Amino acid sequence: MEKVQQEEKRAFVHQVFESIAKDYDRMNSIISFGRHRAWRKYTMKKMGVKAGERAIDIACGTADWAIELGKEVGPTGHVVGLDFSEQMLTIAKEKVKQEHLDQHVELVLGDAMKLPFPDNTFDYATIGFALRNVPDIQQVLSEMVRVVRPGGQIVSLEVSKPPKAWFRSLFYFYFYNILPLMGKLFVKKYDEYKWLPTSLTNFPDSVQLRKMFEDAGMKKVEVKLFSGGVAAMHLGTKPADPAMGSEQ
């Protein structure tokens, strides 16, 4: 039964993102009031990506984060942007080409639940504003840990649930009521933007997600709340010796 529900969610989310792909970047800026760029900039600074390193951005969408990673690793490094939406990747490929990064930023059609890469391939695995849309969060986190080398970083940047009750109520009103209307007003897509806030309902809060990072085998999990907790960064490290459960 659970597997059927996961497949149903995957199919529905796929349809949603195929539908909104051409408006995705513009609507991200509108609904976050442009703050998503500052959140990603802070996260990148915390990661400390270096030239020559390797990274994978999972559920990369139109490749904004993959492009930033590509700029940091430079031509001696390598970045993979993976997504299950062909429409998103079509837009992503054009953006990567415009940034002259297509020689070391590779875009791949694939499933976040089963990453098509060997163990210990990357220095970083990131996922931005997509973890709440996957069929099984714990499975995706486990896959991210698997493909990252020992000592590497696993990073999520995601919408979250503000810890203060009064602000959470205000945010929920905006997210559940105003955001879908903005989708209808700006891009004539009400149902699709009704889904996006709904996806937050059963998503863990920042404390619960930290526990899921730890359950996936990560250590030194750092959490940063943005804008009163409407978004959160979770950054974990894969132990140098996973069998020992601690870095050496």
- Closest C-alpha among 146, 150, 145, 161 to residue 206: 161
pLDDT of residue 5: 62
pLDDT of residue 27: 66
pLDDT of residue 182: 80
Q: If you count DSSP H runs as helices and E runs as strands, how many of each does the chain have, helices first? A: 10, 7
pLDDT of residue 248: 34
Greatest Cα pair distance, the chain, in angstroms, is 54
pLDDT of residue 17: 66
- Closest C-alpha among 114, 143, 101, 128 to residue 47: 128
pLDDT of residue 183: 73
Bridge partners (DSSP) of residue 241 are: 246
What letter would DSSP give residue 177?
I
Give 3-state DSSP helix, strand, coil % of the chain, rounded to 5.
50, 20, 30
Return averaged pLDDT per consecutive 10 residues of the chain, 248 residues in all: 62 67 68 85 97 98 97 98 95 96 96 96 97 94 98 96 93 86 74 76 93 96 96 96 46
pLDDT of residue 246: 40
Cα 70 from Cα 199, distance rounded (Å):
29
pLDDT of residue 244: 41
- pTM listed for this prediction: 0.88
Bridge partners (DSSP) of residue 225 are: 232
